[in-house]
Amino acid sequence: MLQQTPVGRVIPYWEDWTRRWPKPSDLAGASPGEVIQAWGTLGYPRRALRLRQCAIAIATEHGDQAPADETTLRTLPGIGEYTAAAVAAFAYGQRTVVLDTNIRRVLSRAQHGQALPLPNLTADERSRAAALVPTDRATSVRWNQATMELGAVLCRARGLDCGPCPIKNLCSWARAGYPGDLHADKRKPQTWRGSNRQLRGQIMAMLRQAEGETVPIDALQAAVGDHARFEAVIDELVSDGLARVNEAGVGLP
């Protein structure tokens, strides 16, 4: 839920989900349409389906208990390098290298003197970060937590606040005079307005508002207004498992 979504938006959804589905087996028993409905406006609703698939795997293959080690965690649907490391560290106290956006930004500035890291994580970046993580398990967990918090609260991408930073005297980026982003040309700007993602969001909002009922295609098309891309976006949603189409129209799966 926290992937590409601020904590403040996630908390109410997380609280609702844990009340409704306190165990993986509970979530595994929900229908795809139910989890998409409960996902609400968090965005990237494929994450909801991945979370349900992950719950099914945990319930059926791991005794309804999330695995504790990174290797096994990464075999679960929708679990990648960062999520596996974060779960192993913060849920089970393992020594891992947690490289989220905040930690990567802090290390890029403090260690390498660069405003932002490369768009894609590299083997060299992993190796340098691993060398910094304390060897003691308990200390390594606190280090990951503290570095993540530093990036979220002070060493932000925008609204930087160096004054109270505990490592400002060690920061290579600050000592270099805060040079600009060396990799700006490699970053692809994400436009929302007019994008397929915006159109998908509009359609998904209407399907959730229908609360399980099928919405006639003509009604959907008239509401979103973009007839040129409508069919292609509907096909995408069906292909992603986020919608179903029948003679009556379009609905949640």
The CATH number of domain 101-186 is 1.10.1670.10: yes
* Average pLDDT, rounded, for the chain: 92
pLDDT in tens, 3-56: 878 889 999 999 999 999 999 999 999 999 999 999 998 988 999 999 999 999
Largest Cα–Cα distance of the chain, in whole Å? 66
Q: Which CATH architecture has domain 7-65?
A: Orthogonal Bundle (1.10)
pLDDT at 5: 85
User: How do residues 133-170 score in pLDDT, each as one tens digit?
Assistant: 999 999 999 999 999 999 999 999 999 999 999 999 99
Strands in 94-233 per DSSP E? none
> In angstroms, what CA-CA distances link 50 with 63, 69, 87, 191?
19, 19, 16, 25
Residue located via tokens 């490289």: 99
- Strand 249-251 to 244-246 pairing: antiparallel
Please check whether the two domains, 7-65 and 101-186, share a CATH topology: no
Q: Where in the chain are the domains?
A: 7-65, 101-186, 196-251
